[in-house]
Amino acid sequence: MTSVFKLIGGALFGLAIAVPAQAQDPVKIGLVHGISGHAFEAFSKQAQTGFELGIEYATGGTNEIKGRPVELVIKDSQFKPDVARAVLAEAYGDDEVLLAVGATSSGVTQAMLPIAEEYEKILIVEPAVADSLTGPDSNRYVFKTSRNSSMDMQAQALALQPDENLVVATLAEDYAFGRDGIEAFKAALDGSGATVVTEEYVPQGTTDFTAVAERMFNALKDEEGRKVILIYIAGGGDAPGKIQAMDPGRYDIEISMGGHILPVLPTYKRFPGLEGAVYYYYEAFDNEINNWLVETHMERFDSPPDFFTAGGMSAALAVVAALEAAPEWDTETLIETMEGMSWDTPKGGMTFRAEDHQALQDMLHFKIKVEDDVEWAIPEKVRIIPAEEMNIPIGREN
């Protein structure tokens, strides 16, 4: 048995998928992720594990598509835009991958978009989130399986049940992910009567939130109605905990935020009853694919899959669905096949919107439950928010 995964320019994490020796040339798929030098490295590892599991599931364990073995070409972006551009170009050019998948940071992924257009090859965005990745500066070679900031924030707004009684201050990181998210949140509140009284943005890596918290407290404390601080930060620094420690409750201010990966969820035990929205939690979705993912992940890793694992699997399932359906594997035929394509994932069906190639998908409204015998806070399902309930703006017209 020989591994079909070739390690190029980085480290290989997760599963080793193996197949017997094949006479046919492999189909090469590039994975461009930051796998060194950043706190988001854990996200990349989850996405790659999920992608490998997705190839396994979609091919029935053969790891072949139309008789050709799958070979993953792994590239490390080091979370640097210039490196990401270079290694994606290398994957398309020297390594001759059919298509590529990546990356983890929205800012880094933005830098990769023109490379797909230059080489006229498909880039599937996973797990980066920013709306701008399928926006006016994107191009027709880019497809996006990850959710976007509008989905995050429309779901978050729906979870807050906004009306004229709701007053919000927002806190986000000062880059594409954060700013796109807050713009999407404000758009989601339009017409609800709710008010955003202040927006705060902090650099990535911020650990001291004292000054911004005081500004948000001052903006909210004299307002009437339900007062909420919405936190939309993907990295570390523990903004929710540090702001909670400053006792916003003395002004009747509550905290709201989206869900997070399992290693972070123990910190949510400080917020029992908190409601928000999240892309995925393994117990919330009951379907054949998710059941297989949970069972297999538990068997192999002694832990449940996380939401970047589900995202990576969704991207792999999209790749296999497209390659199985396309009569030819040239880029133009693949684009024609993928525009409007629907496929099944661990969180249910997704569809690539033809206009901008964003995958439309359901989201999860949760309420935090704390149980002593579970090490993390449980984002218990309130309901699944269906894709059609969210009005996701079209990023570009192809």
The string of pLDDT tens digits covering residues 197-221 is 999 999 998 999 999 999 999 999 9
Q: What is the pLDDT of residue 23?
A: 56
Q: What is the pLDDT of residue 7?
A: 36
Continuous segment of H or E residues that includes residue 238: none
46 in Cβ contact with 306 (< 8 Å): yes
103 in Cβ contact with 32 (< 8 Å): yes
Q: In what order do the strands lie in the sheet with 226-232?
A: 195-202, 166-173, 226-232, 253-257
Q: For tokens 């880029």, what's the residue?
A: 331
Of the listed ranges 250-254, 336-340, 391-395, the one predicted with least confidence: 391-395
Q: In what order do the strands lie in the sheet with 363-369?
A: 275-278, 363-369, 378-385
239 and 299 share a domain?
A: no
CATH number of the domain within which 129 lies: 3.40.50.2300
Number of domains in the chain: 2
In this predicted structure, the answer to whether residue 10 has a pLDDT above a threshold of 90 is no
140 and 25 share a domain?
A: yes
Give domain status of residue 396, yes or no.
no
Alpha-carbon gap, residue 349 to 361, rounded angstroms: 7
What rounded mean pLDDT belongs to the chain? Answer: 92
Give domain status of residue 202, yes or no.
yes
Give domain status of residue 199, yes or no.
yes
Residue percentage of the chain with pLDDT more than 70 = 94
Q: CA neighbours within 13 Å on the CB side: how many for 74?
A: 22
254 and 291 share a domain?
A: no
Helices 331-338 & 307-325, crossing angle to 10 degrees? 120
7 and 123 share a domain?
A: yes
Q: CA neighbours within 13 Å on the CB side: how many for 396?
A: 17
Give domain status of residue 9, yes or no.
yes
In this predicted structure, the answer to whether residue 181 has a pLDDT above a threshold of 80 is yes
Give domain status of residue 394, yes or no.
no
224 and 268 share a domain?
A: yes
Of the listed ranges 14-18, 50-54, 86-90, 380-384, the one predicted with least confidence: 14-18
347 and 385 share a domain?
A: no
Q: What is the pLDDT of residue 385?
A: 96
End-to-end CA distance of the chain: 44
In this predicted structure, the answer to whether residue 22 has a pLDDT above a threshold of 50 is no
Alpha-carbon gap, residue 240 to 249, rounded angstroms: 13
Per-residue confidence at 50, pLDDT binned at 50, 70, 90?
very high
89 in Cβ contact with 95 (< 8 Å): no
Per-residue confidence at 36, pLDDT binned at 50, 70, 90?
confident
Q: How far is CA 302 from CA 255, 264, 295, in A?
A: 32, 18, 10
Residue percentage of the chain with pLDDT more than 90 = 83
Peptide bond into 321 cis (omega under 30): no
157 and 297 share a domain?
A: no
Q: What is the pLDDT of residue 184?
A: 86
Per-residue confidence at 59, pLDDT binned at 50, 70, 90?
very high
Give domain status of residue 246, yes or no.
yes
139 and 164 share a domain?
A: no
What residue type is assigned to position 271 of the chain?
F
Structural domain containing residue 163: 150-278+364-389
pLDDT, tens digit (0-9, with 9 covering 90-100), for 136-145: 999 999 999 9
390 in Cβ contact with 353 (< 8 Å): no
Q: What is the pLDDT of residue 225?
A: 96
137 and 7 share a domain?
A: yes
150 in Cβ contact with 188 (< 8 Å): yes
Q: What is the pLDDT of residue 307?
A: 92
Give domain status of residue 179, yes or no.
yes
Alpha-carbon gap, residue 293 to 348, rounded angstroms: 13
355 and 271 share a domain?
A: no
Q: How far is CA 221 from CA 162, 214, 215, 368, in A?
A: 19, 10, 10, 25
Looking at residues 38-51, what average pLDDT do you find? 90
Looking at residues 75-99, what average pLDDT do you find? 97
Looking at residues 73-88, what average pLDDT do you find? 96
Q: What is the pLDDT of residue 6?
A: 34
Q: What is the pLDDT of residue 4?
A: 37
pLDDT, tens digit (0-9, with 9 covering 90-100), for 341-383: 999 999 999 999 999 999 999 999 999 999 999 999 999 999 9
13 and 119 share a domain?
A: yes
List, in sequence order, every residue forming a beta bridge with 379; answer none if it has no partner: 368
Q: For tokens 């498909």, what's the residue?
A: 122
123 and 16 share a domain?
A: yes
